[in-house]
A and B are shown apart, each in its own frame.
Chain A
Amino acid sequence: MDDKQLEELLKLISLGQAAFARALEIINNHKAQSGKTTDEILTEAKEKTEQALEVINNL
């Protein structure tokens, strides 16, 4: 395997790592939502969005 291929492989691995980390985050989020009503999930989503907008506003 030459240097270019190694670099390509490293990029792919980090992409895979990031994708898996994100997928894990989403799965855990869905797990945390079980047992909650649709309205509770929506309220939580609204709160998270508002908090994120506050962080964005302070960037």
Chain B
Amino acid sequence: MTFIRHNISIILLAIMLMLLTACPSTDKTRAIARAEDDVAQGLSSTANLLKDAEAAGSLAKEDVAFLKPILTEVGKGNLQAIELVKSFKDISNPSLDEQTKLLQIISTISTNLTSLNNEGALRIKDNKKKVLFNTIVVSMQSSATSIVVILNLKGGK
């Protein structure tokens, strides 16, 4: 049981990688775009969860105020990543410089997600909501991490 709980992020990452790399015709940029879309969806789910948790009284207003800037940074980072990928000169074959810039953004997103996960887990009182929150944040983390893996994949476009 402990093994599964401690490895839930690895399981989610495995699912994510399977989805993003399973199709042989999938090019890197398309896979990255999908991962960014997953982060966007996770962001929306997290925002709605915090809204519900506050309304239900399982998260104090000051706790929401604490988590809000971290979540905002994740969103801003995702927008930066999307804009960067859109600006790739050769969309199917990003240059080393473009890949480095993307990795820097992903690294910031990842740091903020770790902080969000830790702080949220401390603050959300309802256990079910806490588990859901952790799962969504971990899946966003997995999507962000998958971008690093995709960039390092050999072959493809």
Enumerate chain A interface residues (CB-CB to B < 8 A). Answer: 8-9, 11-12, 14-16, 18-19, 21-23, 25-27, 29-30, 33, 38-39, 41-42, 44-46, 48-53, 55-57, 59
Residues of B with C-beta under 8 A to A14: 127-128, 131
Question: A15 and B135: CB pair below 8 A?
Answer: yes
Complex interface bits, B92-108 against A, C-beta within 8 A gives 1, otherwise 0: 00000000000000000
Question: B37 and A41: CB pair below 8 A?
Answer: yes
Contact of A19 among B11, B48, B64 (CB under 8 A): B11
Residues of A with C-beta under 8 A to B72: 53, 56-57
Question: 26 A-B Cβ contacts within 8 A?
Answer: A11-B131, A12-B5, A18-B135, A19-B135, A22-B45, A23-B15, A26-B38, A30-B19, A33-B34, A41-B30, A44-B37, A45-B37, A45-B82, A48-B37, A48-B40, A48-B43, A48-B44, A49-B79, A49-B82, A52-B44, A52-B75, A53-B75, A55-B44, A56-B75, A57-B72, A59-B50
Enumerate chain B interface residues (CB-CB to A < 8 A). Answer: 1, 4-5, 8, 11-12, 15-16, 19, 27, 29-30, 33-34, 36-41, 43-48, 50-51, 54, 64, 68, 71-72, 75-76, 78-79, 82-83, 85-86, 91, 127-128, 131-132, 134-136, 139
Number of A-B residue pairs with CB-CB distance less than 8 Å in the complex they form: 123
Bound CA span A32–B135, Å: 22
